[in-house]
Amino acid sequence: MVARDKARLVVLASGNGSNFQAIIDACENGRLDAEIVLLVVNRPGAYALERARTHGIPSRLIDHKDFADRESFDAAMAEAIDAARPDWIVMAGFMRILTDDFVDRFQGRLINIHPSLLPKYPGMNTHARALETGDRVHGATVHFVTPTVDAGPPIVQGRLEIFDKDDVESLKQRIHGVEHRIYPLAIDWLVKGSIDFDRAAAQTSPAVVDASGALIVPPSP
């Protein structure tokens, strides 16, 4: 039997990188048959860089402030990504709006995680908005990236109940816990071919994981 090469992941991050860490852990403990071949960050102080160093993962700092415009920044990113020959490009807290050209180039292989149950609350301040609305259920979504921000086909959502005592900080922490479960899971499905862009786009609702981590709605076949 010919051993299949591990799926190659490029991760894009801007900050702490706790989702990056969850993916590193899943690769290292064998839950994910993938290797992170490159981390790209756009901010010099991003703690994700430290995580990459600790785990021997190659990293590149491409500081958006060194570029005259979005187009040239995205072109530099695209070049670095292509050179790493990834199967999947994983945005893990990457805080830059991408140009349509960049998204078109990688569409179908480019995924993101967002801290809300999309299509609810695209954009920023999702926890505050869920609390203000009086929602009882909140969560996070892994989705394919398309040119419209936070609007691409969802792959999986992780849900949790909002308690009366919750505030923005407690929700942020609890949602991070959800994210760390669903991001490696979604990547595992992509690597195994259980879901792809077309199937995600065709399904009326995505797979769902509950607060205990149980898969209560599987991806549609």
Cross-strand partners of 104: none
Q: Residue 119, preceding bond cis, omega within 30 degrees? A: yes
Catalytic option among 114, 138, 143, 180: 114
Does residue number 113 form part of the binding site for ligand GRF (CB under 6 A)? yes
Q: How far is the CB of 2 from ligand GRF (least distance, A)?
A: 35
114 included as an active-site residue: yes
Nearer to ligand GRF by C-beta: 72 or 125? Answer: 125
* Contact region with ligand GRF (CB under 6 A), list: 15-23, 129-137, 197-205, 210-218: 15-23
Among 17, 86, 184, 206, binds ligand GRF (CB under 6 A): 17
Q: Which H or E run includes 81?
A: helix 70-83
Among 51, 114, 127, 174, binds ligand GRF (CB under 6 A): 114
Among 10, 12, 19, 138, binds ligand GRF (CB under 6 A): 19
Does residue number 108 form part of the binding site for ligand GRF (CB under 6 A)? no
Site string for ligand GRF, 22-61 (x = CB under 6 A): ----------------------------------------
Among 93, 152, 153, 206, binds ligand GRF (CB under 6 A): 93
Order across the sheet with 88-91: list the strands. Answer: 59-61, 34-41, 7-13, 88-91, 110-114, 137-144, 154-161, 207-209, 215-217
User: What part of residues 158-217 is at the interface with ligand GRF (CB under 6 A)?
Assistant: 179
Does residue number 99 form part of the binding site for ligand GRF (CB under 6 A)? no
Nearer to ligand GRF by C-beta: 16 or 220? Answer: 16
User: What part of residues 128-147 is at the interface with ligand GRF (CB under 6 A)?
Assistant: 140
3-state secondary structure of 20: helix
**To 5 degrees, how large is the angle CA 184–CA 187–CA 190?**
155
**To 5 degrees, how large is the angle CA 151–CA 181–CA 132?**
55
Expressed in angstroms, the distance from the first to the final Cα of the chain is: 27
d(CA 140, CA 126): 10
Q: Output the CA–CA distances (angstroms, integers) from residue 74 to 14, 97, 188, in the order listed.
A: 14, 10, 27
Which residue reads 């549609």 in tokens?
A: 220
Q: How far is the CB of 22 from ligand GRF (least distance, A)?
A: 8
The residues that touch ligand GRF, with contacts defined as CB under 6 A, are 13, 15-19, 92-93, 113-115, 140, 179
Q: Which residue numbers are catalytic? A: 114
